[in-house]
Amino acid sequence: MDKNVLYSECNFRAVRSSGPGGQHVNKTSTKVMLHWDLDASIVFDEDQKERLQKRLSSKFTSENQLVLSYDQSRSQHKNKQEVFKNLVRLLEKALIKPKKRKKTKPTLASKRRRLDSKKKNAEKKANRKPPSF
């Protein structure tokens, strides 16, 4: 994944942060919103795009755009860096192929332990019954 090309594909927009904050938040646009279009991207091939679409389907808009925002810092520049880091982290995590599970059989010792515990449980319940004469 070429981060420079990915960065050039992103559209950044600064908006005012929500919530309390006094004079600073009321007059400055420090919150950064990132818009990235999956269909128009040249960073990923078709298989990768399909995997991203599948793994991140809940995060995409109906136009296949990913919209992320960040407003933790008072600096617009820092927020822009952080929202891009979040995008890269999200995409890298979604591109990881899950390992296939290897089927295994239970060990002989685990089978014996299971049967022993069943026998102990059966004895315990049998001892609760009144004796038959």
Q: Domain extents for the chain?
A: 3-95
| CATH of segment(s) 3-95 | 3.30.160.20
| Contacts of the segment 24-30: beta carbons below 8 A, 24+ positions apart | 24/74, 28/74, 28/76, 29/76, 30/71, 30/73, 30/74, 30/75, 30/76, 30/79
pLDDT for residue 124: 95
Q: What is the mean pLDDT of residues 45-69?
A: 92
Q: Is 113 left (phi over 0), alpha (psi -120 to 50) or beta?
A: alpha
Average pLDDT of the chain, as a whole number = 91
Pairing of strands 11-15, 65-70: unpaired
Band of pLDDT at residue 133, cut at 50, 70 and 90: confident
Whether the per-residue pLDDT at 20 is higher than 90: the answer is no
Tell me which of 21 and 132 has the higher pLDDT.
Answer: 132
pLDDT digits (tens, 9 = 90+) for 90-120: 999 999 998 999 999 999 999 999 999 999 9
